[in-house]
Amino acid sequence: MSQNQIPALADLVSGARIVALPLRTKFRGLEEREVLLFEGPNGWAEWSPFVEYPDEEAAVWLAAAIDFAHGNLPTLYRDRIAVNATLPAVAPEHIERVLSNFGEFATVKIKVAEAGQNIGDDIARIRRVLELYPDSKIRLDANGGFEISEAVDLINQLKSLGINIEYFEQPVASIAEMAELKLQVNRLGIKIAADESVRKVSDPLAVAQANAADILILKAAPLGGIVRALEIAAEAELPVVVSSALDSSVGLSMGAYLAAAIPNLDFDCGLATSALLAGDVTREPLRAENGFIDVRRVEVDKSKLEIFSAQDHRQDWWLERLERVYKLL
């Protein structure tokens, strides 16, 4: 994106709308998701780095949002994207209620390694999903929460139960640990996917160069936008899964465009997470139907912006953050 495509700060600030969207189930420790929205020539875009992220990291997300609203759009290879359901680290008795919001699906990504829980809790959650949805493919996501020994223990216990998983996403924190774990579990037929090791490091290609993953998880916003994410995918030469960061439908739209621009997309993508929201910014949310979401821009509804408008002190916080971060572009 060229400098002349970056809008003036005053225009971004004057057009910014900040909302707090309630979640159906606590996810990532959150009960609501704050996002900042603005409109450009291409349509609406979302800027929503999590509140604990430093300004330097948030600037990458802002570049992505500006590019989606103002930049050139990529060539698209498909007009709909196959998506997975996402299950937070809930107790087994809540699983059916949570997953019912996703409609039909072929794949479930199950969160494991939740603080305050243990491997027994994870296994109980996985087994209950398979009891309810026996034909579903299962993938796990630990968000880097395990030690190597814990990840191996979980895999071995699942193997002993005859449970196969499609892949294990970010089981451990560091790239070195990922590489060591991958050597152990590839022998068991388990693939390792990298998420934080792609989007939270200075060099997103380091995980591929270290042979630390079989699959890359790509999220458009943390990687600086669609164009940069496509460059990483091409350079890494690994299969990719496009995922979201608990976005509104506007943010999911950017993910859908990224997924549509990848020539070979072999896995269901993590872009159905609007089902985790109890409110959204549009009357036509980007929700999965028959296991797919459409690739389209999302029209923001002004009444929804009013209904979910963030409290005044949160509005001030986001606008001050926007002014600081803009200077880093």
Residue ranges for the binding site for Mg(2+)? 141, 169, 195
State yes or no: is 111 an active-site residue: yes
Binding residue ranges = 141, 169, 195
**Taking the chain, what is the end-to-end CA distance rounded to the nearest angstrom?**
11
In the set 111, 182, 191, 304, the catalytic residue is 111
State yes or no: is 182 an active-site residue: no
The residue behind tokens 């976005």 is 247
> What's 76's DSSP letter?
-
DSSP labels, 5-56: GSPPHHHHHHH-EEEEEEEEEEETTEEEEEEEEEEETTEEEEE---TTS-HH
Other Cβ atoms less than 10 A from the Cβ of 188: the count is 11
In the set 109, 182, 219, 304, the catalytic residue is 219
Q: Pseudo-torsion of CA 79, 139, 151, 173, nearest 10°? A: 20
Task: Please check whether residue 319 is in contact with residue 23, taking contact to mean a CB–CB distance below 8 angstroms.
Answer: no
CA 143-149-153 angle, 5° bins: 90
Q: What distance in Å separates the CA atoms of residue 308 and residue 283, rounded to the nearest whole number?
A: 13
Task: Please check whether residue 236 is in contact with residue 218, taking contact to mean a CB–CB distance below 8 angstroms.
Answer: no
Put residue 103 in one of left, alpha, beta given phi > 0 → left and psi -120 to 50 → alpha. Answer: left
Listed in order, strand segments (DSSP E) in 184-281 are 192-194, 215-218, 240-242
Q: What distance in Å separates the CA atoms of residue 213 and residue 326, rounded to the nearest whole number?
A: 33
Burial of 79 (0-12, 13-18, 19+ CB in 10 A): exposed
Catalytic residues: 111, 219
